[in-house]
Amino acid sequence: MEKDNYPRHIEHVFNFTIPPGQGIERIDVYLTRVIPHATRNKVQEAIDAGVVLVNGKSVKNSRKILPGDCIECTILKPPPIVLVPEEIPLNIAHEDERVIVINKPAGMVVHPGFGNRYGTLVNALLYHLGIRENIPLELDEHQDENNEDEDLSIGFQTDSIRPGIVHRIDKDTSGLLVVAKDVAALSYLAKQFRDRTAEREYYALVWGIVKEDKGEVKTNIIRSHRDRKVFIATEKDIGKSAHTTYTVLERFDFATLLRLKLWTGRTHQIRVHCSSIGHPLISDAAYGGGVIAYSGIKTNALKSKAEKLLQIITRQALHAKTLGFSHPDNESKMTFDSVLPDDFLSAMEFCRK
């Protein structure tokens, strides 16, 4: 039986008594503030459903709380996550007693979340490392949303082994990442990513003809107010700084192959930066590349070819090709290079025809 990545939500009931001296505040604002990890939308949904009671009676969003009010609020939340070791094949580029370097396929999520409980890289790693018991995971349902850095060191442990994810790459991005096998290695590697001494180079196939042979993009990156799942580049002094450099490797009729180097590790950084300069990744629907995003196509034949390209590679055309770091045992420099996956190679060959 297939495991359920989206299990039924369970009820959580919260009770509050408003103390003397509490200032005037709307009930929805108050509950959003005092319930851990609650969102305004979830609180409003609960109020609209009549499951927020003040002194035993349902209320409206605009109801002001008063000292002595007894509030009962019922909110639906997903059940806790349990890490389940799963026998999933891994493409291991290197493994020793301290670290593992994985060549992750496109379509695999790195770390379990409330919508991806099974089939992740972590599930596969647990099984590979000999762990067979399920492990409860301390994770709130907004942890992923609140994390704006790709370089988030995530540990998961048992009594016998303590592996940790040093950095992440997107579900539909393929390529190399390193996993630490113990806490000391995790800390040592994570510092290299924070200090920007780790080496990371990506290959990307983008829409349009990039004119400059080399270039860089320096912006701040913030979460979009319109869609919390995506990010935008901004010149304003808000968000987090992001720095990417690129080199043109090959130009095609309506696309360009880039080699990009990350100097910072923000969520979706390359995808955001390529989109911000008018060259979104091929098939990256979230950032404008899910359709033909090049106005220079003048003939029906080229338009047909561009549409065909979207069918050849159906995920964002991005691959983490090169990874370099110092080993936690002896500080020796280790560099790994990976071959491009079949869908990426097919897309390139198609562009060359």
Distance of CA 317 to the CA centre of its chain: 16
CB count within 10 Å of CB 291 equals: 12
Using CB atoms within 10 Å of the CB of residue 237, give its burial: 0 to 12 exposed, 13 to 18 middle, 19+ buried. Answer: exposed
CA dist., res. 144 & res. 166, Å (int) = 15
The catalytically annotated residue of 144, 170, 182, 284 is 170
Annotation marks residue 329 as catalytic: no
Q: Is 269 helix (H, G, I), strand (E, B) or coil?
A: helix
Q: What angle do CA 321, 326, 332 make, to 5 degrees?
A: 115
* Rg of the chain, C-alpha, whole Å: 24
Helix (H) / strand (E) element for 349: namely helix 342-352
Contact in structure between 127 and 91 (CB atoms under 8 Å): no
Q: What is the DSSP letter of 193?
A: H
Q: Give the helix, strand, coil percentages of the chain, each rounded to 5.
A: 20, 30, 45
Contact in structure between 253 and 296 (CB atoms under 8 Å): no
CA dist., res. 199 & res. 320, Å (int) = 11
Using CB atoms within 10 Å of the CB of residue 146, give its burial: 0 to 12 exposed, 13 to 18 middle, 19+ buried. Answer: exposed
**CA distance to 26, 85, 115, 150, 303, per residue, from 119 (Å):** 42, 9, 11, 20, 37
CB count within 10 Å of CB 265 equals: 20
CA dist., res. 69 & res. 205, Å (int) = 59
Q: What angle do CA 227, 217, 295 make, to 5 degrees?
A: 70
CB count within 10 Å of CB 77 equals: 15
Main-chain dihedrals φ then ψ at residue 146, nearest 5 degrees: -80, -15
Catalytic residues: 170
